[in-house]
């Protein structure tokens, strides 16, 4: 299962993409699970990526930035952050306000 999570910066143009192992026998990865909002097992590879309609993000990141983001998710809900960032991106792209439209996470 692959997953994503957004940076601790309030930006909607890029995110960390997580490649995971499919081995269910691997140990639980608490840090990746906390950031992605789903159960992640084993080692992961993390890259910077973004939505198909955006290339406005750095392709490299500093270890300190990733550590700040991991710390951010100690208190932040991955679902809430994802919903807020996706809502922001859609509003910016379409120019339509989504106030009052309920959020959901797939």
Q: Give tens-digit pLDDT for 79-101.
A: 999 999 988 888 888 888 888 77
CB 14 within 8 A of CB 49: yes
Q: What is the pLDDT of residue 74?
A: 97
Distance CA 2, CA 74 (A): 21
Q: Give tens-digit pLDDT for 36-88.
A: 999 999 999 999 887 776 676 777 889 999 999 999 999 999 999 999 998 88
Distance CA 12, CA 82 (A): 9
* Predicted structure pTM score: 0.81
Q: Which of 83, 78, 86, 81 is nearest to 34 (CA)?
A: 78
Q: What does the domain layout of the chain look like in residue ranges?
A: 3-51+62-94
């Amino acid at each position: 299962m692959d997953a994503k999570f957004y940076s601790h910066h309030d930006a909607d143009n890029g995110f960390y993409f997580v490649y995971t192992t499919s081995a269910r026998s691997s140990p639980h990865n608490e840090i990746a699970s906390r950031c992605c909002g789903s159960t992640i097992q084993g080692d992961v590879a993390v890259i910077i990526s973004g939505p198909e309609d955006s290339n406005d993000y750095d392709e490299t990141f500093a270890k300190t930035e990733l550590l700040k983001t991991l710390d951010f998710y100690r208190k932040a809900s991955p679902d809430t952050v994802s919903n807020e960032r996706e809502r922001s991106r859609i509003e910016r792209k379409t120019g339509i306000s989504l106030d009052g439209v309920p959020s959901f996470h797939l």
